[in-house]
Structure 1
C-alpha cells in the first residue's frame, strides 16, 4: 500500500527526534556526572577510571541505539521503495533523504564503535596504573598507600558495626647490619623472602603488605591474643629460615607489635599502639612479639635471643 507524504514526513520527524534525544541525553548524562564534583579539582585515578567506565557504557548503549535506528530507517526506505515501484514517483526525493540519513547514521555508528574500543583500552591502562601505584615493586606486596586505603575502609566498616581487626607491625631485626655485611642485593633478597613467608604463613589475613623499608604490616581478624599467638609462631618460623644468595647464607629474625580496635574514634591511636608494642619488642632485645591491650605492651611467650 503506498505511503502518503504525511506518513513519510512523520517517519522523518520521528527519526530526527530520536537522534536529537540521543545527543541530548549524552550531554545531560555527562554534565550531570561532572556536576557532582568540583570542576576545578584534579581527577584522581579511581575517579577517572569511573568516568571512563561510565563513558564506555554510554558509548556502548548509544551504539546499540544507533544500530536500532539504522534498522528502522532501512525498513522505512524499503517501504518507500516499494511505493516507488508501485508507481508513485513523488516519493523519490524522500528516498534520497532517507539514504543520506542512513549513511550519516552508519558513519556515526562507526565512530561510536571506535570510541568504545579506545575507551576500553584507556580503562585497562588506568587499571594497570592504579594497581602499579599500590604495589611495592621489590616484593610485589601491596604498599603503604594500599594499606592506608584498606585501613580507612576497614575502620569505617567497624564503626558501622562491622568486624574488628588486628594491626601487626613487623620489622626485620638489624636490617642495616644485613645490608652492611652482605650487601644491598642480599638485603633485597631478605625482604623478598620475608614477603613470601608472610604470604605463605599468614593465611586468612585481610592484607599483608610492605609498609616501608624493612617494615611490613599484617591486617588480621580478632581476637587480639589469638592473632598475637599466631604471629609468635610465625616469628619462630622466620628465625628458622635461611636465605641463600649465591654463596651467602643469611638468617634473620623479626620483631612484631600487635594492637586492635578499642573504642577508638580514629584509626591513628590503633596504629600508635601497634607501634608502641613493636618498639617494646625491639627495645627488649628483638625477636619478640608484644601486643598492646590498650594499657601497655605485653610480651607473648618467652623471650628468645636474636640471631
Structure 2
C-alpha cells in the first residue's frame, strides 16, 4: 500500500513539475514575442528603440527575473518534498501506518505549495498581460501618423518590404500609388495651418472610406500619401486610382464659412515593371511628376517605358499620342516664368474660391 502511494505521489510530482515548466515557457514566450516584434520594427529603419520601449521592456525583464526566482524556490521546495517521500529522515524502520501518515502530510504540503504557485502564476500572467498591452499600444502609436491616424512612413516601408519579398517568392503582384494634394502650400498660406490640417484629415477620411481591406494607405510626408494595391492588371489599377481621386475632389472641405476645393495628383507603377523595391518607388514618383507636369488633378501609370493617363486606361481610350516617353520627363528646375505662371494660376483659383464664398454669404444674409 505504501509503495503504491509512493509511486502515485512520484508520478503526481512529475506531472506538476511538467505543468509548471509549460506555464513558465508560455509566459516567457509571450514576453519574448513582444520583444522580437519591437526589434523587427526598429531594425526596419536601423534606429534605436524609443526610451519608453526600453523602459517597458526593462520592467518586463525585471519582473520576469523576480518571478523566475520565485519559481526556482518553488521547484526546490517540491523537490525537497519528493526526497522526503522517497527516503525517510532517519534510518529507523517505519511501519506502514506511519509511512502512510507521512505520505498524507507530504501530499497536503504539495497541494498547499501548488495553490501558492497557482496564485503566483495567475498574478504573473495578469501583470505580463498588462505590460504587453502597454507595449503593444506604444508600438501602434509608433506606426501611426498622429494627425491623420493613417499608417506612417515607418509602417509603410515595413509593409512595402514585406510585399516585395512576397512578390520575389510567390510572384504575387501589387502596385505602388503615390498621391500628392495639389497646391497644399497655398492652402496653408491662404487659410492657415489649421485649415491645412483639416484638409489632410478630410482627405485621409475620404480615402479610407473607399479603401478595401487589401489596400494599404499611409501618410509618408507632409501632403504626400501612398497606397499599396494588390492588383497587377492595368485596367483595375486605373479604375481604383480614378476612384481615389474622385473621392478627394467630389466635395469641398468646409472650414468655418469657407469652402476649400481640393484636388490631388497621383502616380502608379506595378511591381511587374520594377527591377527593385527602390525602382518601384522611383517609377511611381516619375508618374506622379508627369501628373503634376500635365495640369495636376490627374494620374499617370508608369509601365516601365511610357507614362499613361489613368483616365484613358479606365475608359479604354488609350492612344499613342497621349503616352509620355519617360526620357522626356527630365527633372529640371523651372525658370522664373514657369514659377510665376504657376503662382498666378494658383492665386486665381484661390481668389475665385474666396469670391464664391463671399457671394454665398451675401446670399445667405439677403435671405
Q: TM-score range by the shorter chain?
A: 0.7 to 0.9
* Cα distance change on mapping 1:120 and 1:28 into 2, 3 Å: closer
Instruction: Indicate whether 1:130 and 2:139 are aligned.
Output: yes
Question: How far is the alpha carbon of 1:275 from its aligned partner?
Answer: 0.4
8 A Cα contact 1:262 1:294, kept in partner = no
The residue aligned with 1:18 is 15
1:168–1:259 Cα contact (<8 Å) kept: yes
CA–CA separation in structure 2 for the residues paired with 1:126 and 1:248:
42
Alpha-carbon contact 2:238-2:311 (below 8 Å) kept: no
Instruction: Indicate whether 1:116 and 2:109 are aligned.
Output: no
Contact 2:274 2:283 in 1 (8 A): no
Q: Which shows bigger deviation, 109-118 or 235-244?
A: 235-244
Question: What is the CA–CA distance in structure 1 between the aligned matches of 2:203 and 2:122, rounded to whole Å?
Answer: 48
Match among 173, 178, 181 for residue 169 of structure 1: 178
User: What displacement does 1:107 show?
Assistant: 0.5
Separation of aligned partners in 1, 2:208 and 2:25:
48
Tell me the residue number matched to 2:353.
none
Tell me the equivalent position of 2:228: 219
Does residue 238 (structure 1) correspond to residue 248 (structure 2)? The answer is yes
SS class of match (1:160)? helix
* 2:203 aligned counterpart, secondary structure: helix
Residues 1:194 and 2:203 aligned together = yes
**1:255–1:288 contact (8 Å) kept in structure 2:** yes
For residues 60-94 of structure 1, the C-alpha deviation after alignment (integer angstroms, 9 at most, x for no partner) is xx9xxx9xx9xxxxxxxxxxxxxxxxx94553232
For residues 199 and 30 of structure 1, do their structure 2 counterparts lie closer, same or farther at Cα, with a shift above 3 Å needed? closer
Would you tell me which structure has more helix in proportion to its own residues?
2
Normalising to structure 2: TM-score of the pair?
0.62
1:291 aligns with 2:284: no
Match of 1:179 among 182, 188, 199: 188
Matched ranges for 1:63-82 at <5 A:
none
1:13-162 alignment to 2 at 5 Å? Answer: 13-22=10-19, 43-45=36-38, 88=97, 91-162=100-171
User: CA separation of 1:202/1:29 partners in 2, compared to 1, >3 Å: closer, same or farther?
Assistant: closer
Alpha-carbon separation, structure 1, partners of 2:310 and 2:300:
6
Structure 2: 5+ residue runs without aligned partners?
42-56, 79-95, 313-321, 323-344, 350-367
C-alpha separation between the residues in 2 aligned to 1:104 and 1:301?
A: 74
Pair 125,273 (structure 1): closer, same or farther in 2 beyond 3 Å: same
Segments of structure 1 that go 5 or more residues without pairing to the other structure are: 70-86
1:80 alignment partner in structure 2 = none
1:216, 1:182 → 2: CA distance?
Answer: 22
The structural deviation recorded for 1:149 is: 2.0
Q: Is the 8 A contact 1:224 1:259 kept in 2?
A: no
Partners in 2 of 1:26 and 1:196 — Cα distance?
A: 44
Displacement of 1:160 in angstroms is 2.5
Q: 1:278 aligns with which of 278, 288, 298?
A: 288
1:23-59 Cα deviation digits (max 9, x unpaired): 566788899999x99xxxx8542779xx99xx9xxx9
Moved more, 21-30 or 288-297: 21-30
Q: Is the 8 A contact 2:241 2:310 kept in 1?
A: no
- Whether the 8 Å CA contact 1:134–1:143 is kept in 2: the answer is yes
Aligned partners of 1:223 and 1:167: how far apart in 2? 13
Number of equivalences: 269
For 1:97 and 1:15, locate their aligned partners in 2 and report how far apart those are by CA, in whole Å.
12
CA distance in 2, matches of 1:239, 1:15: 72
Distance 2:310 2:189 in 1: 31
Structure 1 range deviating more: 231-240 or 184-193:
231-240
Deviation at 1:251, TM superposition (A): 1.0
Shift of 1:201: 3.0
Q: Is the 8 A contact 1:135 1:143 kept in 2?
A: yes
* CA distance, structure 2, for counterparts of residue 12 and residue 46 of structure 1: 45
Q: CA deviation at 1:261?
A: 1.2
Q: C-alpha offsets along residues 116-157 of structure 1, whole Å, 9 cap, x if unaligned?
A: 222222332233222222222211222222222222222222
